[in-house]
Structure formats: C-alpha cells, structure tokens
Amino acid sequence: MIRLSAILLATLIVVNLNAQMNASDAAALESTVDDARIVDNSLQPEYERAKRVYTHLISATYLRVTAKLFPAKKAYQQMLREHEASAFVHTQLASLNMEMFDLPTAEQHCHRAIEIDPEVPMPYYLLGEVMIWRYGNAKHRDKWDDIVSAFQKVIQLDPDHYGFGKNGRPFSAYNYLGEIAEQMGDYQSAANAFKELVRIMPYQPMYYLRLGGLYNQLDNKQEAITTYERAIKINRNLWRAHDALWKLCVDQYDRLYQEDQLEAAAEHLQKAIHSYSELKRLVPPANHKHTHDNELLAQFRARLGSLYVVLERESEAIEVLEEALEITPNNPDTNYWLGIAYQEIGNLEQAEHYLRATIALSPEREEAYNALGYFFAEHGTNLDEAVRLIQIALKKSPANGAYLDSLGWAYFKQGKLNDALKQLEKAVSYMPDSVEVQDHLGEVYLKKGLKKEALAAWQKAIQLSPGNTAILEKLKKHGQE
C-alpha cells in the first residue's frame, strides 16, 4: 500500500517550490520539462504504481498552484484510479471542486473521505463549508443542525482547530459555530465559540471585537468592557472597539452612580472620555454619526468633575473641568462645578467667579443661587445678597431642606436668630438625617442660650456621624460648662 505520509511530503515540497515561482519561472520550467529526455527504466510493479501516483500528485499540485483547475482535477482523478481509498485525495478533490463551485461533487468527496478515515478533521470542515454554501440561507434552516454537527466534529477531533487560507485569511470551525449560533440567537453558544478563538489566537483583535459584542448581547457589560479593552491593548487604533467601549462605560457609569458606587462610576466615566476622544481621532468620516462631539465630551467631563468634587478629589475636578471649559466655555454645568470645586479648596475669588458665571449662563439653575448664597454666608460676606440669592432658590423649590438650611445660616450670620431658628427647624423637618443641619441648629440654639437644645442637636449629629471630631469637640466643650 502507498504511504500517504510520503505523498503529503511530496505535496508540501511541490507547493513550496511553486509558491516561490513567478510566471516566467513557471513558463521556463514547463519548457524545460517538455524538452527533457525522460528516462523510464522498468520498476517492480508496486513501485511502478507508486511512481504513477507520485507523478499524478506532483502534476495535480503544480497545476492547482498555477490555477489550472480542470487539469488538476483530472490528475487527482487519475490518482483515485490507482488508490481510490485515499481520504487525502478525496479531501483535495473536495477542496478543488469547491474552488470550481461544483458543490454537489465537493460534498460527495467529503463524505467519501470521512467514510475512509473518520478521524481526520479537514473533511468535516470542508463538508461544513460546502453545506453552508449550499444550505446556509434561511430557506434551509432544517439543514443547520447538520452543518453544526460537521463543525462540532472538527473541534472534537482538533480542539485547537485554526489555520490560514490561500488568501491569508484565518479560518476555524469555531468561527463558523459562533456565526451560526449568533444568527440563531444563541448568544451564549456564540460567545463560547469566540472565547475558544481568543484562547487559540490571543493576539487577533477581531475575535475580541466579536466576543465583546456577544457579551453586550448577553448583558454582561463588565466582561464586554474588559474584552474591548483587550482588543485596544493589541491595537489601540481599533475605532470600532472605542465606539463600543465609550457607550458601555457610560452605561456602567449610570448604573454605578445610581448604586452610589462613586469611585467606580468615576473610573468608567474616565474610560468613556478617553475612548470617545480616540473615536473622534480614528473614525472614518463616512462612519461618523456624532455631530456634537465637543458638547458631549464637555458633558462627560462636567459629570466627572462633579464626581471628583463629591469624592473630595478637588484638584482632579478642577483639571478635568477646566479642560471641558476650554471646549465649551459657556457650559453651565462646567462653570457650576468649577465654582464648587474652588469653594472646597478655599479659592474664594475663583469660586465666586464661576458661580456668578453659572447664574448668568443659566438663570433658571436654582442650585447655583443657593451655592453662591451659602458661599457668602459661610464666609460672612455679602450677607444681604446671600439672603436674596437663597430666597430665589427657595422660590423655585420651597420644600428644599438644603436651601432652608442655607437661609437659616445666612440669617444666623446676620444675627437674626429668630429667623434663623425658624428656617433651620423647617430644614430639619425635611432633612432629619443631615449632620450639617443638626450642627447649624445646635449653633443657633446655643447662641439663643438654649444649651440643652443645642446639646441635643449635636447628640443627634454625632449619632449620624460618630467620628465627626468637630461635633465631638462641641459636645465636650459645652457639655462640661
């Protein structure tokens, strides 16, 4: 019997030689072959047969490499006359007939190759491809199970199935299994298939793109983000990955913010800003759908700045907000949060500037009136204006406990203790769990000589914030008097 390993070796040698030929080399070789004197000494019968097989194999391989498909097919068929039970030759004929778009014949050769040697994966793979070409549309969905079975057999025989076609494009049974599962709406099976491709070829970003999309379909947002980030790590210029990533990060920011996970929310918003900025740089004009890029980036930066203020990361807040202001200087959110950030670090001039700018840009923004009014009250300046500003805010939201607290504190700084007490008692009815309101109420009670009530307010405050050293100091000082 002819050894197929030798046949395969001969094939590889010929393919390698022909792959290096240019057209003139090939023509010269054909001329040389035609002119050469053929030596044909007699061989023993079994070797004569082997010689014929090798001759047909070399001829078929050469003809196929030089795109002479019909003569190549004839040469393979001559090999079958010598050795019909060759799974290798049937596989080659299946592949060749696919190139010639003779799909029924290709399918027959696949089945014959599988019949001869059912432990070789390639005939199953070719069979799956032939069936996709023949039955891959919706009209033949009854055939899809057979297609899936063929590709599943491939990965059963070769769990790491992967290769490259003549055009240099990668191929794998996992790829087809993932595509089919996704078309059928089985996103988990599709994700499993592309996870295998990522395992086998961890530096192919296209598989991460597909896997990220499937995780998104499965509502596994964090896995989708991690997967897109991996694709970008391999190739930072993948605009489709950046496009998917910024949207996912904004979604995660919204969820985390609602859950009061502010550090994590800030991290995701930072990623969204980065990916959206990269998208602007990379995306082809024909694919660009966002006409208000600068405004959107400014909104993201304003949100991030506000988070940094709440997280007491004022210097980072100022940095990101000033970046936003360079793009959209008339954005009320950016001006407002810059004012608050500067207020927190004690830069009074800048705080007043940006809060006044906010009111000028957005007169209906009630929290800006309250913030500027409270700012004046806290520092004991412009107290008449402080009262007027806070009253504007209260006119818009009369049941807002924070605004009532601000007004009460402004009256306290003016020395109007009865007015202050009235507003702060109303504030505490709306915000009984506010440490700041309880603290202000205690100060007013103490100033009015109501020490017992003051201590009670501070006791309530310390229950709400057990580690508050300022409140503890007041209790210690006034409780011993």
* Tens digits of pLDDT across the chain (481 residues): 334 444 444 444 344 434 444 444 444 444 544 454 545 566 566 677 777 888 888 988 888 888 899 999 999 999 888 888 999 999 999 999 999 999 999 999 999 999 999 999 999 999 999 999 988 776 777 888 999 999 999 999 999 999 887 677 888 999 999 999 999 999 999 999 999 999 999 999 999 999 999 999 999 999 999 999 999 999 999 999 999 999 999 999 999 999 999 999 999 999 999 999 999 889 876 665 655 577 888 889 999 999 999 999 999 999 999 999 998 899 999 999 999 999 999 899 999 999 999 999 999 999 999 999 999 999 999 999 999 999 999 999 999 999 999 999 999 999 999 999 999 999 999 999 999 999 999 999 999 999 999 999 999 999 999 989 999 999 988 875 5
- Confidence (pTM): 0.75
What are the C-alpha distances in Å from 247 to residues 191, 252, 272? 20, 9, 7
Helix (H, G, I), strand (E, B) or coil at 171: strand
Helical H segments across 235-365, by residue range:
239-258, 262-282, 293-310, 314-327, 332-344, 348-361
Q: Are 445 and 437 in contact (CB under 8 A)?
A: no
- CA 2 from chain centre, in angstroms, equals 54
Calpha distance 41→316 (Å, rounded)? 88
* Structural domains in the chain plus CATH codes: 85-201 (1.25.40.10), 210-290 (1.25.40), 394-480 (1.25.40.10)
Q: Are 472 and 455 in contact (CB under 8 A)?
A: no
